[in-house]
Amino acid sequence: MCGIVGYIGSEECLPILINGLKKLEYRGYDSSGIALASSNDIEIIKSKGNLKNLENELNSKKYDSNMGIGHTRWATHGIPSVLNAHPHVCCENNIALVHNGIIENYQELKKELKSKGHKFCSETDTEVLVHLVEENIKETTSFREAVEKSLSKVKGSYAITVMNKNEPETLIAARKDSPLVIGSAKDGNFVASDIPAILEKTRNISILDDNEIAILKANSVDFYSNGKKVNKKPIEVTWDLEAAEKGGYEDFMLKEIYEQPKAVKETLRAYLNGKKIDLSFLGLKKVDLKEIDRIFVLACGTSYHAAWVGKLIIEQWANLPVEIDISSEFRYRFPVLSENTLILAVTQSGETADTLAGVKEALNRGQKTLAITNVLGSTITREANGVLLTQAGPEIGVAATKTFTTQISVLYLLALELAKVRGTLSDAEIQKKIEDILTLPAKIEEALSTAEAIEKLAGEYYKKPDFLFLGRGFGLPVALEGALKLKEISYIHAEGCAAGEMKHGPIALIDENCPIVAVANKSKTYAKVVSNIEEVKARGADVIAVISENEKLLKNYLKKYITVPLIDEALSPITTIIPLQLFAYYMAKAKGLNVDQPRNLAKSVTVE
């Protein structure tokens, strides 16, 4: 992985490729490269590190080309280097290819190709693909058939775009288990791994499905599946590219933190008709909520913490047992699933490889599946029986912020719908909870007002090497998410744990260099959390607490605290996470780090 962009048409393609790759920088990368079709050749330009390095390479020469492909690479096979960067070319230098995904049988294929005289230049699995196409094109006059035959030998996942010097008016794109979209405009046609890469040029987008191939020419696009031509209806992307720009903020992450009131409001508006919940129009008709006897949730990272909140709220409001599992673990154990167990997949991108694999496993077992995602047209929206879309808009920063709060917002509404069909809450109780939920955007605004105080706190703590985050009940997934945010973007070791587990090990970590961050808002477990704070303070710990605005006890007891608006305990994760997101952000800024593209991380984890 990570980013693909391609163009064929009447315009100069180099600026299109570079601009498209810049729009994909948020996905993370360690090297980049492009291939340009010239009059009699394919020119390859690659560079390690930032895209600016690639631009510097390109500035040394003038290029004139109307067709090309580009790639930003995140190393999975082979170290970050110019040799391992994409595009890769075949022995004769007449075919160039870029690829996202993992070729699981590449060693076997490489051995076979070497025996036929092919010479490899890189350590990557991707290079096998371009040599396969070169080998198979010897046996057919059809570029498309050569690509199809090559892909039929591949085990694993791929999104590829290929160009052939001998067919200078054709680009070929194909996918399996890795996202790829096709865009069409009057001046040409485009391919990309994510819509923002080409949104400046077109809003007419076709989503390539698994095992499909697209043949792009300057004035046409044809789609094939299993060797047969198929028709695809494009979708019109309605969100504005400006939504993916910084809009005056210093970083995308900060912008996205401050977009949360709007994102939550838009998400709630999508599913509330007045004060009535309507979850039917995005596929829930296929999932009879009345029949469900248990929910099994699959998620990774931040989505897993949102799922944890969902578990607590569904069990409390709908009296329905919920189990959550890390997606990468689900497939490799033997979960006990009944006919009426609903599999709920939570994924920001809709392309998370482990979550998709878990959903496919569940579908193979005959389970009903429901997905919560932020991306219309993503793979999971086509795989799952039902889909609930969050309305967060594009999230460019690698560290998830507004998708976390919008995922929880959807889970609140799902919990209320389940409570309604199961009769566990009265109509009056449901209406009261909806009224409370509708106050969330304003409550988030209040929580954001603490930013200046949090920035000052970060200035005091950014040199600390370790942090311990504590929480109970609804505060536990918030503590886990707060710790994740801090480690993701500040590179400070942070651990989240249940406050009640302190005496079972974590208390041994406490010293003057390991501050405690405690989620201590008003809740059923408030007195217990206060007791835990007293425990760690007695051992010399420096404590920062997230407390409710009307709190008096901890204000008098602690020197460092952050207030959040008072709200029903079940809704508190959406407000208590805000100061922890800001704390992580300002800690990273104090260290002079890139908060939008932290090292070793990618926005969409599209390989297992």
Catalytic residues: 2, 603
From 185, 224, 218, select the one nearest 204 (Cα to Cα).
185
For residue 240, is it left (φ>0), alpha (ψ between -120 and 50) or beta? Answer: beta
DSSP string for 546-607: EEETT--HHHHH-SEEEEE----GGGTHHHHHHHHHHHHHHHHHHTT--SSS-TT--SS---
The answer to whether the Cα torsion of 316, 317, 322, 324 is positive or negative is negative
Distance CA(500)–CA(129), nearest Å, equals 53
Please enumerate in sequence order all residues whose Cβ is within 8 A of that of 268, keeping only pairs 6 or more positions apart, or say none.
409, 413, 437, 438, 440, 441
Distance CA(3)–CA(142), nearest Å, equals 27
Peptide bond into 168 cis (omega under 30): no
Phi first, then psi: give them for residue 150, nearest 5 degrees: -65, -45
Distance CA(207)–CA(85), nearest Å, equals 26
Adjacency order of strands within the sheet including 322-326: 322-326, 294-299, 341-347, 368-373, 386-389
Q: How many helices (H) and strands (E) does the chain have?
A: 19, 27
Contact present, 384 and 370 (Cβ < 8 Å): yes
Please enumerate in sequence order all residues whose Cβ is within 8 A of that of 376, keeping only pairs 6 or more positions apart, or say none.
235, 389
Residues 97, 98, 104, 107, Cα dihedral to 10°: 50
